Structure 1
Amino acid sequence: MKKIVKQDQDVIKQHNKLMILDIIKNKRPISRAEITKITRMSATSIGRFVSELCEEGVIRETELTSSGVGRKAIMLDIEPGALYTIGVDIEKKRISFGIMDFSETIVAHHRVEHKALAGTPAETAALICQEIRGMIARQGIPFEKVIGIGIGVPGVINYERGVVQLSSTLGWKDVAFAELIEKELGIKTVIDNDLKVKILSEYLYGSAKGSNKTALIGIGTGIGSALIINGEVFRGGSNSAGELGHTTLDPNGNLCECGKRGCLQTYIDENALILEARRVKEVTDVREVFAAARNGERWAKEIVSRTALYIGITINNIVCMYNPDTVILSGDLVENYREIVELVEEHSDQVIWEPFKGKFRVIPSELRGEAIVMGAGALAMQHFAPLSGSWSGE
């Protein structure tokens, strides 16, 4: 019985310690007295837990003092260099990396060109491991302080098992990718769908801050979406919620790479725009279509306008299903042609169901190209940092 009581006491102690660390991380800088008020714990207990956290190197006393009446209180803050995570964004033709410190700031960026379709998943994993080792060494970070790696991957992901079930963008099927990284580096790794990672970063750091229910639409080489409700990513039964690109617009329409006809992505992704443009002019990149539209070329303006209409229809479908307060437009198409957001809003007036008009906002991604790297670093932080409950600290 004594042993059980001791274990219960240890669990409670660890819970309280993590709660105090969480408070310091979210409300920093903060005084011991303020923590006492929030937790309603005794000043002695708070002092003891704070001392332990200082000794473990995850928090520190700052030179700042509170400006309240009476005795000045020394403020507490987290120690940014206490630990780090790595965020990775795997795209069709490149891989981006970022090192995130404990303050959730990206302290180093890196990008390499890489065509996943030209090699195997194992070769991609080997390249990622090589680049991560190099980044850590260049930053002079002790290897043991890197507690986790988060990776955003396009496709259907079993994030609990770390398996890429299907990624047509990368040409992968049933790849245990997290295991490939963990075996090589010995660092815990979590992977997730790239748009689910992106919406997490927008919720924590970008456009979706303060939103209760946000939908994100990603438009680029494919089409997808993600939903976050009260801070939780909506995953669906198999983590596949949001595969908008393969919703059907016209069963007799364009042939899609998935084998079906009339999928949404065959009307508004980059390849669709290029194929449409080639009926008029030989183009090799979607940016040429944007440039022609900016120059006032009628054929290009019509393509962009039609695309904006389909995006408006997509927004209407999402709003009718989920009733979000915010819809974020992201991806290369939006980032390279910001004017399309205004066109989408114009077309949305025609297609949004009347009860929802004026009840939500449509905004472009705030974090742009860094969103997935930041979200992947944050995902690893949530899974493996002290606040996840995995911190031994003793």
Structure 2
Amino acid sequence: MKKIEKHDQDVIRLHNKQMILEIIKKSRPISRAEITKITKLSPTSVGRIVGELCEQGLVRETALTSVGVGRKAIMLDIDPQAVYTIGVDIGKKAIKFGVMEFSGELLHEERVEHVALQTTHEATAAVISETINLIIANKNLDKSKIIGIGIGVPGVIDHERGIVQYSSTLGWRNIPLAQFIQDKLHILTVIDNDLKVKILAEYLLGSAQGSRKTALIELGTGVGSSLIIDGDIFRGGSNSAGELGHTTLDPNGNMCECGKRGCLQTYIDESAILHEANRIKETADIQQLFAAAQNEENWAQDIISRTSLYIGITINNIVCMYNPDAVILCGDLVENYSEIVPLIEEQCGQVVWEPFRDTFKILTSELKSKSIVVGAAMLVMNNYVDKS
């Protein structure tokens, strides 16, 4: 019992520490009294945590500011260039990079066209390492200030050991990617599932700020989800929680690439939508489908309406299971065709179980294409703060 209590206390302490540091980053310079007011923590708790952050060199005291007659408050600030992290997003057709300052701002972004599925994991690791070396040289970064590299990878990831256990997108099985990169660059490297770092980014710097429990659903070439509770990513027993696309909608339904019938993604991912469209009229891509719907072609409107219904059912299932206060919709389907969002909201009004209808907000991604790079970089930054 005491061990459980100690664990809970440690989690709360780290959460409060990260929360206070984020407040200082966003509102700097800021006084201890203002932090106390925002967090509703006791002045003693705020003082102790700020003291730790100052001792670790993450926060510094700056000028005095008047807060009333005869009173001056010591303001708190950070050094944005104190440390850097590098975020990497390995996508289907390209690899994205971002250098993040301690403030959370991206100092530099870069994109390299690369199809990992058409080459080896060694070649992909080489592209990542070479590009990071070029960025360090071209931006004249002090390598000693780079505290780590975070990489968001599609698939089932053993984030503790840095291994890509399985990624159909990349064609990889049991690849120790973190060690490959770390050996080449001699910089601490961590990896995680792309949607898990994406929800971390939205929670810290995007549309989920202020949420206590957020679920994220990605809709596009595949279907996936992730969940964050009070700043902690929900991982499940093997870091595989969120494989939403392979939940069964109909055991006698469409055949999925995984070998099962009726998986959710066979109804709402892009290939499934296009397959349905092409049964009626030749449709090259999703853009053509939405153009047909805008031209009031009934067949196209029916397909989009049906897709919206299945997404609404998906949201209902997640809300019933986890009771989040926010659901973020992201991915190409909602980011490129935002007109589907009100249709999904309308379907939710019909299919979400009544006790949950007014308990959550439907949001869209604020960070969009930057979210995985930002989340991967923040993953490293959070680990650094936790262990400091």
How far, CA to CA, are the matches of 2:46 and 2:248 in structure 1?
A: 56
Give the letter for the 2:204 counterpart.
L
1:253 and 2:250 equivalent?
no
Distance change (3 Å), C-alpha of 1:119 and 1:325: same
Alignment-derived partner of residue 300 in structure 2: 300
Alignment-derived partner of residue 38 in structure 1: 43
Alignment-derived partner of residue 10 in structure 1: none
Does the 8 Å CA contact 1:199/1:228 hold for their aligned counterparts? yes
1:80 match: secondary structure: coil
Cα deviation 1:139-167 (Å, max 9, x = unaligned): 22111211111111111111111111111
1:194 and 2:194 equivalent?
yes
How far, CA to CA, are the matches of 2:18 and 2:332 in structure 1?
A: 38
Alignment-derived partner of residue 157 in structure 1: 157
Alignment-derived partner of residue 352 in structure 2: 352
How many equivalent residue pairs? Answer: 365
How far, CA to CA, are the matches of 2:110 and 2:373 in structure 1?
A: 10
Distance change (3 Å), C-alpha of 1:73 and 1:324: closer
Does the 8 Å CA contact 2:100/2:107 hold for their aligned counterparts? yes
Alignment-derived partner of residue 9 in structure 2: none
How far, CA to CA, are the matches of 2:20 and 2:317 in structure 1?
A: 39
Cα deviation 1:227-272 (Å, max 9, x = unaligned): 1111111111111111010011112221111111111111101111
How far, CA to CA, are the matches of 1:21 and 1:347 in structure 2?
A: 37
Q: CA deviation at 1:111?
A: 1.1
Which has the higher mean CA deviation after the structures are superposed, 168-177 or 134-143?
134-143
Give the letter for the 2:80 counterpart.
P
How far, CA to CA, are the matches of 1:183 and 1:313 in structure 2?
A: 45
Distance change (3 Å), C-alpha of 1:21 and 1:228: closer
Q: CA deviation at 1:299?
A: 2.4
How far, CA to CA, are the matches of 2:278 and 2:34 in structure 1?
A: 64
Distance change (3 Å), C-alpha of 1:314 and 1:215: same
Give the letter for the 1:389 counterpart.
K
Q: CA deviation at 1:288?
A: 2.6
1:81 match: secondary structure: coil
Distance change (3 Å), C-alpha of 1:215 and 1:138: same
TM-score after normalising by structure 2: 0.86
Does the 8 Å CA contact 1:24/1:30 hold for their aligned counterparts? no
2:68 match: secondary structure: coil
How far, CA to CA, are the matches of 2:63 and 2:293 in structure 1?
A: 55
2:266 match: secondary structure: helix
How far, CA to CA, are the matches of 1:201 and 1:91 in structure 2?
A: 17
1:26 and 2:31 equivalent?
no
Q: CA deviation at 1:25?
A: 5.5
How far, CA to CA, are the matches of 1:41 and 1:194 in structure 2?
A: 33
Which has the higher mean CA deviation after the structures are superposed, 347-356 or 114-123?
347-356
Give the letter for the 1:113 counterpart.
E
How far, CA to CA, are the matches of 1:377 and 1:197 in structure 2?
A: 9
Matches within 5 A, 1:72-111: 72-73=72-73, 75-111=75-111
Does the 8 Å CA contact 2:53/2:59 hold for their aligned counterparts? no
Give the letter for the 2:165 counterpart.
Q
Does the 8 Å CA contact 2:93/2:115 hold for their aligned counterparts? yes
How far, CA to CA, are the matches of 1:231 and 1:112 in structure 2?
A: 31
How far, CA to CA, are the matches of 2:206 and 2:230 in structure 1?
A: 15
Give the letter for the 1:26 counterpart.
I
Distance change (3 Å), C-alpha of 1:33 and 1:207: closer
Alignment-derived partner of residue 140 in structure 1: 140
How far, CA to CA, are the matches of 1:24 and 1:149 in structure 2?
A: 20
How far, CA to CA, are the matches of 1:120 and 1:66 in structure 2?
A: 61
How far, CA to CA, are the matches of 2:75 and 2:380 in structure 1?
A: 28
Gaps of 5+ in 1: 1-15
How far, CA to CA, are the matches of 1:293 and 1:182 in structure 2?
A: 49
